[in-house]
Amino acid sequence: MSPEEKEFSEIIESLVEQWGFRRHLGRVWSLLYLCDKPLNPSQIEEALSLSKGNINGILQELTTWGVVHKTRLEGDRNYYYQAEPHIWKSISNVFKARELRILAEAIERLTRLETQTKNTQDPEQKTKLKKLHHIQETVNTAHMLSSMLVQSDPEKLGKITKLVSRLRSL
């Protein structure tokens, strides 16, 4: 790898680590993204000096997230891998699979908690219930905004602007 490619890889490693993924996922993805042609696990192993077992696990995880695709070349029995070329699609895949699920679970739990406590007559509990509802609205709005962002439909931009304004007012 050239110094520029190594620097790019380090930047991606840091990003994916900040998102809670292992650094090596970023290394492998970076290599595949920068390559013009698909690579097989042995080529990746050689380029990055990682173990075969590590490479296989990383490739499986990257494939599961939809940021790397598994393919075969004509006349070759080996599997090859290449990065999803559309960056926004890669980010959206991960966001849908992870962040949206987390927000949906939070909404479900907050709704259940609000339902359990909404009939209280205690003034102190009513104040807490209002705060709970405020958090629920904020998380709900964040979920809607995130859903619209990952759909990447240009017609949704007006709605996204309204949701951002709504978030600012909460």
Q: What is the pLDDT of residues 73-129, one digit of tens each?
A: 999 999 999 999 888 778 777 888 788 889 999 999 999 998 888 887 888 888 888
Nearest to 30 by CA among 53, 7, 3: 7
Q: What is the pLDDT of residue 149?
A: 75
Out of 59-68, 149-158, 160-169, pick the least confident: 149-158
Q: Is the pLDDT of residue 150 over 90?
A: no
The full set of domain ranges for the chain reads 3-85, 98-169
In whole numbers, what is the pLDDT of the chain averaged over residues? Answer: 87
Measured in whole angstroms, the distance separating CA 106 from the mean position of its chain's CA atoms is: 17
How far apart (Å, rounded) are the C-alpha atoms in residues 72 and 141? 43
Query: What is residue 70's three-state secondary structure?
Result: strand
Q: What is the pLDDT of residue 38?
A: 97
- The proportion of the chain whose per-residue pLDDT surpasses 90, expressed as a percent, equals 49
Rounded mean pLDDT, 52-73: 94
Q: Is the pLDDT of residue 136 over 80?
A: yes
Encode pLDDT of 8-18 as tens digits.
999 999 999 98
**The dihedral sign for the CA sequence 151, 18, 62, 28:** positive
- Enter the CATH code of domain 3-85: 1.10.10.10
Which are the contacts of 79, defined by CB distance < 8 A and separation ≥ 6?
40, 41, 70, 71, 72
Question: What number of CA atoms fall less than 13 Å from residue 66's CA on the CB side?
Answer: 13
